[in-house]
Every structure is written in structure tokens, then in C-alpha cells.
């Protein structure tokens, strides 16, 4: 799957019809990763803006390739939620993050926003490393809409935020210039056309700019 196909696929899963060019345009401001670098968050406010950088890096950590924070994927998430997302999705994410903070504090006595990378990884493992039955229950709950039960309602908003964030951080990561041009094989459009190339000569997954 090339860069454009990945962008279209992820945006479709999110329920949005967005062109790759629009996504790449939105990701153009991702060079600045922190508020003191000149990034001005539009959706996340205060300490939340710093937290989403760590959250994105927990999902996509730096290895032999750049991590989420390195390419500013969290800046893309902020821009998408601020400028593109439906009002209903904006509201669900705000409530989900707020309820996650409250739940974490009640269970641990600590502030989620001040969690370390290790603590955040443990928390995400708790939420996502669940059995198949629970996975099916979560998917069914999210597709059915907000439950009437207060406890289930809290889980609904928390998972709505986490699933939206996870998909957006992936979308921002693969749409970034650094990943699209320096990690995936890259050929700008329009480019040279070569017909009948042997498959073994294709090499890496290709990104189209």
C-alpha cells in the first residue's frame, strides 16, 4: 500500500471523505512539535497540548525510524480535530479525554497528564490488551452509540477518544513529509513512467507525493 492509499484508507475508516492532497496540506505545519517551538494548538488546550505529544509517541515510538513526535503527528491530530472533524466527534473526544483523566485519577491517585511514558504505556496496555470477547463488546458499543448506563457511557467516550486519536496519529504519521519521502520509497507526481518492471526490482513500499 502506498502513501496515498494509506491516507485514503485511514480517512475512510474515520468516516471522512478527504483527498490525500488535503491531508498532506493539513500536515504541512507539523515541523514545529511544541508550543515553545511556535506551535499554536487549536483543539487541545493547556497541559493537554503537551500530553498528546507523549500519547502519540506511545502509540508510535521512535525506533530505527522516527517516532510520532519526531514528525509532529500530534500537531496534525490537533489540526484535524480543530479544522476538519465533525462537531459531534470534537465533543466526543473532549468528553473522552476528560473522563479518561477522571478515571485514571480515581484508580491511581495520579494525574494522567503528568504520567510518564512507562505509566502511559501500561495504561494503554490495560485498555487495549483485552480478550476477544471484550474487544467485540467495545466495537459493538462504539457502533451502537452512547449507552444509557453511566458506567458504559464513560467507557464509550473514553474509547471513542482513544480510537479516534489512534487512527489520526497514524494518518498524520504517514502523511508527514519525513515519513513519506525519507522512510517510504518516494516518487513525486508526475514522475517517470516505466512499464513492465520485474516485481523484485520494486523494493520498498512506495509513497506517491
3-class secondary structure for 80-107?
A: HHHHCCCHHHHHHHHHHHHHHHHHHHHH
Q: What is the pLDDT of residue 13?
A: 52
Whether the Cβ atoms of residue 189 and residue 208 lie closer than 8 Å to each other = yes
Model confidence at 189: pLDDT above 50: no
3-state secondary structure of 207: strand
Whether the Cβ atoms of residue 72 and residue 35 lie closer than 8 Å to each other = no
Model confidence at 113: pLDDT above 80: yes
Q: What is the mean pLDDT of the chain?
A: 79
Q: In this prediction, what percent of the chain has a pLDDT beyond 90?
A: 38
Q: What is the pLDDT of residue 186?
A: 45
Question: Could you read off the pLDDT of 69-101 as tens digits, one per residue?
Answer: 988 889 889 988 988 888 999 999 999 999 999
Question: Could you read off the pLDDT of 158-183 as tens digits, one per residue?
Answer: 999 999 999 899 888 887 766 655 55
Question: Could you read off the pLDDT of 134-155 as tens digits, one per residue?
Answer: 999 999 998 888 888 877 888 9
Compute the distance between CA of residue 56 and CA of residue 79 in angstroms, rounded to an integer: 14
Q: In this prediction, what percent of the chain has a pLDDT beyond 70?
A: 66
Instruction: Work out the average pLDDT over 180-191.
Output: 49
The secondary structure of residue 206, as a DSSP letter, is: E
Phi, psi of 153 (to 5 degrees): -60, -40
What are the grid coordinates assigned to 18, written together? 478527504
Q: Is the pTM for the entire model greater than 0.85?
A: no
Radius of gyration of the chain (CA): 18
Amino acid at each position: 500500500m502506498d502513501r496515498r492509499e494509506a491516507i485514503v484508507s485511514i480517512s475512510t475508516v474515520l468516516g471522512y471523505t478527504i483527498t490525500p492532497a488535503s491531508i498532506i496540506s493539513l500536515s504541512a505545519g507539523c515541523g514545529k512539535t511544541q508550543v515553545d517551538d511556535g506551535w499554536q494548538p487549536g483543539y487541545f488546550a493547556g497541559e493537554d497540548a503537551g500530553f498528546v505529544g507523549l500519547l502519540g509517541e506511545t502509540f508510535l515510538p521512535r525506533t530505527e525510524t522516527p517516532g510520532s513526535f519526531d514528525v509532529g503527528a500530534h500537531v496534525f491530530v490537533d489540526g484535524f480535530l480543530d479544522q476538519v472533524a465533525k462537531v459531534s466527534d470534537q465533543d466526543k473526544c473532549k468528553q473522552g479525554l476528560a473522563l479518561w483523566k477522571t478515571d485514571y485519577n480515581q484508580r491511581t491517585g495520579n494525574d494522567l497528564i503528568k504520567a510518564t511514558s512507562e505509566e502511559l504505556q501500561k495504561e494503554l496496555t490495560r485498555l487495549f490488551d483485552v480478550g476477544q470477547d471484550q474487544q467485540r463488546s467495545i466495537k459493538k458499543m462504539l457502533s451502537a452509540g452512547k449507552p444509557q448506563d453511566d458506567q458504559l457511557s464513560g467507557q464509550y467516550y473514553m474509547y471513542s477518544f482513544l480510537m479516534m486519536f489512534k487512527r489520526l496519529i497514524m494518518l498524520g504519521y504517514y502523511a508527514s513529509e519525513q515519513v513519506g519521502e525519507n522512510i517510504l520509497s518516494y516518487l513525486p507526481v508526475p514522475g517517470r513512467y516505466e512499464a513492465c518492471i520485474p516485481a523484485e526490482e520494486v523494493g520498498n513500499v512506495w509513497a506517491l507525493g
